[in-house]
Amino acid sequence: MKKRVVCVLLAGAMVCSLLAGCGKKTGSDSTAGDDKTLSVTTTFAGEDGNAQNYKDAVAAFEKQEGVKINDSSATSDETFKARVETDFQAGSEPDVLFFFNGADANSFIEEGKVVSIDEIREEYPDYASNMNDDLIAPSLVDDKKYAVPVNGYWEGMFCNTEVLAAANVEVPGADYTWDQFLADCEKIKAAGYSPIAASLGEIPHYWWEYSIFNHTTPETHLEIPTSVDEGNGPAWVAGMEDIKALYEKGYFPENTLSAKDDETFALFTGGKAAFLIDGSWKVGGIAAACQSDAEDPSTLDKDKLDKFTVTYVPTNGERKATDLIGGLSMGYYISKKAWDDDAKRDAAVKFVEYMTTDDMVAKFAQHTASALKAAPEVDETQFNSLQVKAIDMMAGVTSLTGAAQDLFNGECRISTFDGMPQIVTGEVSAKDAVAEGLATYADQTAE
Amino acid sequence: MESSIYKKKRNLLVFLVPAFLFMAVFLYYPFLKNIWNSFQNISSLGAAGKGWNEPWYSNYVKMAGDKNLRTALFNTLIMMAVTIVGQVGIAVVLALMVDNIKRGGKFFRTVYFFPIVISATALGLMFNLIFLYDKGMVNQFLEMLGKTGLTDWKDSAHALIIMMIPVMWQYVGFYFVILITGLNNIPEDLYEVAAIDGATRWQRVRYITLPLLRNVICTCVVLAVTGALKVFDLPWVMFPKGMPLGKTWLTGTYMYYQAFNTKNVDYSSAIAVLIVVLGIVTSKIVNKVFKEAEY
C-alpha cells in the first residue's frame, strides 16, 4: 500500500511538472498579480551609442514610477528582428518595443498586435504631442502611425585619419567623387593598408545601399524595381557591379568574405583600414573601442578618438556626396496586449511618454535628426570629438533618404545580401542575383 | 507481498503514461507537425500555413536542385567520417593508453572530459580568437616564428578543416569516458591468463580488449554518426551563414538558416525531415557494419 502511494505521488509529480509548462501565459515577463511590471525590448544595447543613455533612463523611470522594467534589448540585427517577429507570432510580445517602422513591422501591424498613436490619443490626448506628426512615418500596411520616434539615423563614411595620413590621403569632403575615392583607395592599398573595412560575407548592407543610391536619386531611390531592366533595375545591377569592381581591385580586406563584421570593424579601429561606411550608431561603437573599459565612458582615450572622423559618401552618379541615407526609421510601439491590460496600459503609455520627452529625445538624438516640434538647444560641450564631427557633417547634409532595404526585406534580400560573396567572386552575375531577389519580392508582394 | 507493483502491470501504466504523454506532446506531435509543415506554405516563424505548396511536394523537388543543400550533405558526410576517425578513433587510442597506466588515470579522465562541460558557443568564440585573421593566436605564433603576412584561416581553402577541428576536439572526451567504462568491465583475469600464456601487450589489446570492446565502440560510432547530422552551435558561431561562399554548410546549420534567416519555414521543415531520414538510414548502416557481437 505504501508503495502504491509513493507510486501515485511520483506519477502525480510528473504530470504536474508536465502541465506546469502548459499554463496560460499572462504576460511575457510579468507575474500574476504584479501590475507594476513592463516588458520592454529595444535596440539600445551592445555598441549602440545610446545604450548607456537608455539604461540610465530606464533606471530613472523605475525609480520615479515604481514600475519594474523587464528589459530584453539587443543589438539591432536580423536575429533581433526575427526574435521580435517570433515573439509576436507566439503571443509573447513585449508590452513596449522600440522597433523599425518599415516593412519589418508589417507582420504584427497586419495582425493588429500594436496600437496606433491616434487610438492612444483618444484616451491620452497628450500622447506624443511634442512630436511633429508629419515627420512620424506611417505604416506601409494601413498608412496609420504607430511608432513614436526618438532618434533618427544617418549612414556616413567614417575615416581613420591616421591611416589616411600614412597613405598621404586627404580626409574626403563634401564634393568627394567616385574617381577620387578610387584614386585614394589605390594610394591606401599601395601604402599597405586595407582601403575599406567591410565584411561582405556578413554585413554588406551599407555598401549595398549606397552602391545602388549612387545610380539613383533621392527622389527615386525608394522605388523598388519590377525587373532588372525597368525603373531602378539597371541601377541596382550597376551598384552590385561597383562593389564587385572594388573587390576585384583588392580594396576590401583580404578576409572580407570570411570575416565577421566585428573583425573588419576591429581592422578599422586598429589602424589597418581607412574607410568604414556605417550608421550613426557606430559613433558610439568607435568611442567604445577607444575606451579601456567599453562600459565606462570615463576611460575614453581622447587622443585615440581624435584620429577618427566621419564624412560624406563618394558619389558615382546624380546623387550628391552630401545626399545621405537616413531618417527616422524606428520608434516606440505599444502592444495591443499591454493596451488591453488595464494594469499595464497606463504604465506603458507613461513609459513611452517618459522616453520621448523633449529633453530625452535631444539626449538620444545627439547628432541625428528627431521629430520634435521644438528641439531644445544642444550643449556640445558634453559630446566627444567624434560626436561633434558628426554634428558638423550633418550640418552640410543636403538630403536624407530612407533605405531601400527597409522596404525590400526578408527572403528577397538573400540573393544580394547573403549572396554578395558569390556576386563579387563572379560565381553569380549581378544581374541574375538582382533578378532573383526582385522575383522573390514580386512573389511576396503578390501574396 | 514481494514486489506486488511489478506483478500487477496495471500499476506500471501510472508511470508509463505520463512519460508517454511527455514524449507525445514534446517530440512526436512536433515531429508529425513538422512533416505536415514541409508541405505547407509558411513564410514566417510561428505563423500559420497559407495553404498547401504548389505542388504540395515542391520543397522536396527544390531540395534535389539546391546547391547549398548538396554542399551541406557532402560536408555532413565528411563530418561523419571525421567523427568516426577523429572522435571515436582518438578516444579508443586515448582510452587504451590511459587504461594501461598505473597512476594518473583519474586525472586524464577529467582532463579529456573537460571540453564537454564547456558550452559550444563559448568554444566557438574561443576558436574564433585562436584563428582570428588579425591578432589571432595562430597568426601571432607564426609571426613569432618569422612568417611574414597574415593567413586567413577561415577562407575557402581552410574553412572546413578549421570548423571540424574544434568539433572533433570537444567530443573526444565524451567517447573516451564511455570507452574507459567499457574497458573497466573487461575481467582482469583474462589479461592475467593471456600474460601467463606469453601474450605481448599488443596481442592482449588485439585479441582481448578490442573484441570485448566492440559493442561499446559500435554504440559510440552510432552516437557519433547521428550526432554529426545534428552539429549546429559551434559551426554556426564560427561560420554563420555557411561563410565563406557557402563552403561550410552542414545540414543543421542550413536548416537553421532557412528557418531563422530566410524565414522559409516550410523548406526548413523539409530539411528537418531529411535529417531525420538520414539519421535513421545512417544509424541502420552503422549497426549493420558494426553488427553487435555476442561473446
Q: In degrees to the nearest 10, what's the CA dihedral of B125, B130, B136, B140?
A: 160
Buried b (16+ CB within 10 A) or exposed e, B199-216: beeeebbeebbeebbbbb
How far, in Å, CA of A229 to CA of A223, rounded? 14
A126 and A255 share a domain? Answer: no
Q: Residue A25 has what pLDDT?
A: 42
A-chain residue closest to B1, CA distance: A1
Question: Which B residues, 276 through 295, put their C-beta within 8 Å of a C-beta on chain A?
Answer: none
Any idea what the CATH number is for the domain that residue B262 is in? 1.10.3720.10
Query: Between chains, do B134 and A266 touch, taking CB under 8 Å as contact?
Result: yes
d(CA A389, CA A91): 44
% of chain A with per-residue pLDDT over 90: 67
Q: Would the CB atoms of B245 and A270 count as touching at under 8 Å?
A: no
Q: Report whether pLDDT(B2) > 80.
A: no
* Distance from C-alpha of A150 to C-alpha of A54, rounded to nearest angstrom: 11
Contacts of B152 in chain A (CB under 8 A): 254-255, 258-259
Nearest-by-CA chain A residue for B14: A11
Cα(A300)–Cα(A283) distance, integer angstroms: 13
In a domain, B207, yes or no: yes
Q: What is the structure's pLDDT at A188?
A: 97
Structural contact between residues A331 and A120, judged by C-beta atoms closer than 8 angstroms = no
| Residues in a beta bridge with A194 | A273
Residue A354 grid cell: 517618459
Provide the pLDDT for residue A22.
47
Give the span between the Cα atoms of A350 and A16, in whole angstroms. 39
**Residue A25 located in a structural domain:** no
Is any Cβ of chain B less than 8 angstroms from the Cβ of A443? no
Asked if residue A257 has pLDDT above 60, the reply is yes
The average pLDDT across B239-265 equals 91
Tally of domains in chain A: 2
Q: CA–CA separation, A306 vs A287, rounded Å?
A: 10
pLDDT at position A28 is 41
| Three cell numbers written together for B244 | 565563406
- What's the pLDDT tens digit per position in B272-294? 999 999 988 988 888 888 776 65
B50 touches chain A (CB under 8 A): yes
Choose from B10, B245, B254, B265 for mutation: most chain A CBs within 10 A. Answer: B245
CA distance B110 to B113: 5
- The predicted pLDDT at position A15 comes to 54
Task: Kindly determine whether residue A7 and residue B11, on different chains, have CB atoms separated by under 8 Å.
Answer: yes
| Option in B11, B21, B159 nearest A258 (CB) | B159
Given this model, what pLDDT does residue A10 score? Answer: 57
Is residue A50 one of the residues assigned to a domain? yes
To the nearest 10°, report the CA torsion of A29, B119, B175, B178.
Answer: -50
Contacts of B243 in chain A (CB under 8 A): 201-202, 257-258, 421
Cβ-defined contact of B44 to A89 (cutoff 8 Å)? yes
pLDDT at A32 over 50: no
Residues 101-160, chain A, touching B (beta carbon < 8 A): 107
Q: Which residues contact A179 (CB under 8 A, 6 or more apart)?
A: none
Contact assignment for B152 to A11 by CB distance below 8 Å: no
Please indicate whether, in this complex, the C-beta atoms of A18 and B262 are within 8 angstroms of each other.
no
Contact between A307 and A191 under an 8 Å Cβ cutoff? The reply is: no
Check whether residue A428 and residue A292 sit in a common domain: yes
Query: pLDDT digits over A372-405, tens only?
Result: 888 777 777 788 999 999 989 998 999 999 999 9
Whether A425 sits inside 8 A of B243 (CB atoms) is no
Determine, for residues B5 and A7 on separate chains, whether the beta-carbon distance falls below 8 Å: yes
Same structural domain, A232 and A289: yes
Chain B, residues 162-201, CB within 8 A of chain A, namely none
Instruction: Indicate yes or no: CB of B246 within 8 angstroms of CB of A3.
Output: no
Among A15, A259, A410, whose Cβ lies nearest the Cβ of B263? A410
Cβ–Cβ gap B47/A254 under 8 Å: no
Chain B hits for A262, CB-CB cut-off 8 Å, are none
Identify whether residues A59 and A145 lie together within a single domain: yes
Q: What three-state secondary structure class fits A86? A: helix
Check which CATH number belongs to the domain holding A229 and give it.
3.40.190.10
Query: Which residues in chain B have their CB less than 8 angstroms from residue A201's CB?
Result: 241, 243-245
Q: Which residues of B touch A418 (CB under 8 A)?
A: 241, 261
Rounded to a whole number, what is the distance in Å from the CA of A271 to chain B's nearest CA?
11
pLDDT of residue A196: 97
Nearest to B261 among A78, A88, A258 (CB): A78
Mean pLDDT over A168-184 rounds to: 95
CA distance A236 to A427: 18
DSSP A143: S
Highest-scoring range by mean pLDDT, A50-54, A419-423, B230-234: A419-423
In a domain, A5, yes or no: no
Query: What percentage of chain A reaches a pLDDT higher than 70?
Result: 92
Instruction: Over range A143-154, report the average pLDDT.
Output: 92
Does B263 contact A at CB distance below 8 Å? yes
* A116 in any annotated domain: yes
Domain boundary at A357, A376, A395, which? A376
Tens-place pLDDT, residues A274-324: 999 999 989 988 998 999 887 787 899 999 999 999 999 999 888 999 999
Q: How far is B34 from chain A (nearest CA, A)?
A: 17
- Give the pLDDT band of residue A447 (cuts 50, 70, 90): low
Same domain, A353 and A370: yes
Distance from C-alpha of B280 to C-alpha of B31, rounded to nearest angstrom? 14
Q: Any idea which of A206-210, A302-306, B30-34, B39-43 has the lowest mean pLDDT? A: B39-43
Mean of the pLDDT values across residues B90-119? 86
Note whether A276 and A412 are same-domain residues.
yes
Instruction: Please check whether residues A143 and A164 belong to one and the same domain.
Output: no
Number of structural domains found in chain B: 1
Q: Does residue A447 sit at the B interface (CB-CB below 8 Å)? A: yes
Over residues A161-174, the mean pLDDT reads: 96
Note if the bond before B55 is cis, omega within 30 degrees.
Answer: yes
Residue B221, domain member (yes or no): yes
Question: What type of residue is A202?
Answer: E
Q: Which of A80, A81, A258 to mutate to test the interface with B (most CBs of B within 10 A)?
A: A258
C-alpha cell at A338: 499591454
The reply to whether A24 falls in a domain is: no
Supply the mean pLDDT for chain B. 89
ipTM of the complex: 0.81
User: Does the CB of B13 have a partner CB in chain A at under 8 Å?
Assistant: no
Q: DSSP code of A427?
A: S
Interface contact A63, partner B, CB < 8 A: no
B140 phi/psi in degrees, rounded to 5: -65, -40
If you count residue pairs, one on A and one on B, with CB atoms under 8 Å apart, how many are there?
A: 105
Q: Residue A334's domain spans which residues?
A: 33-152+328-376
Same domain? A167 vs A258:
yes
Mean pLDDT of all residues in A97-126: 93
The rounded distance, in Å, linking the Cα atoms of B6 and A377 is 82
Tell me: pLDDT of A23 over 50. no
Q: Cell numbers for A196, please give them.
A: 575599406
- In this prediction, residue A16 carries a pLDDT of 54
Residue A333: inside a domain: yes
Residues A350, A227: one domain?
no
- B262 close to A (CB below 8 A): yes
Residue A383 in any domain: the answer is no
Among residues A197, A158, A212, which one has the least CA distance to residue A417?
A212
Write out chain B residues lying below 8 Å of A254, CB-based. Answer: 133, 150, 152
Query: DSSP assignment, residue B87?
Result: I
A113: its cell numbers: 498586435
Distance between CA atoms of A140 and B100, rounded to whole angstroms?
A: 71
Assess if residue A19 is contained within a domain: no
CB A177, CB A235: distance < 8 Å: no
* Per-residue confidence (pLDDT) for residue B4, from 0 to 100: 56
Q: Could you tell me if A202 lies within 8 Å of chain B, comparing CB atoms? A: yes
Q: Which residues of B touch A447 (CB under 8 A)?
A: 43, 50
- Per-residue confidence (pLDDT) for residue A7, from 0 to 100: 55
Which range marks the domain in which residue B200 is found?
69-289
Chain-centroid distance, C-alpha B233? 11
Residues A433 and A287 in one domain: yes
pLDDT digits (tens, 9 = 90+) for A196-251: 999 999 999 999 999 999 999 999 999 999 999 999 999 999 999 999 999 999 99
